Amino acid sequence: AQSVSQHNHHVILSEAASLELGCNYSYGGTVNLFWYVQYPGQHLQLLLKYFSGDPLVKGIKGFEAEFIKSKFSFNLRKPSVQWSDTAEYFCAVNAPNRDDKIIFGKGTRLHILP
């Protein structure tokens, strides 16, 4: 079965620091990859997605992610975080040619110090 691993459960950074959140998935076939963000008290919103093409994907609010197929990874990055980036981040994968379920990682809670 597919699975998604997020390496960091809780990350604390100061404003302007660079961010990288790790995500690895286990399925070897064609995948769609997502990062969702959940701001405090809110629902999950799509941050960015990869379906095909350029493996470097740019999302909203200055976030980007790189799909490295050989490493089964889809790490999320931001060069300079802001206090408003404090949120929980979820990596997700689905296999459209397989069972097509969207599988979520356990999430990474990001706390930005002002």
Q: What is the smallest separation between the CB atom of 11 and another protein, expressed in angstroms?
A: 15
- The nearer residue to another protein, 53 or 114, going by C-beta atoms, is 53
CB-CB contact of 100 with 27 (8 Å): no
**Least distance (Å) from another protein to the CB of residue 25?**
14
Alpha-carbon radius of gyration of the chain = 14
Shortest gap between Cβ of 80 and another protein (angstroms)?
Answer: 26
Task: Show the tokens assigned to 24.
Answer: 């690895």
Which residue's CB is nearer to another protein, number 10 or number 71? Answer: 10
Taking the least distance from each CB to another protein, the nearer of 72 and 104 is 104
For residue 107, the minimal CB distance to another protein (Å) is 5
Cβ proximity to another protein: between 16 and 46 the closer is 46
User: Residue 16: CA atoms inside 13 Å, Cβ hemisphere, count?
Assistant: 1
26 phi/psi in degrees, rounded to 5: -110, -5
Point out which residues bind another protein (CB under 8 A): 9, 32, 34, 36, 42-46, 49, 51-52, 90, 92, 94, 96, 100-102, 104-107
Could you tell me if 48 and 23 are in contact, meaning their C-beta atoms sit under 8 angstroms apart? no
Whole-angstrom distance, CA of residue 50 vs CA of residue 57 = 7
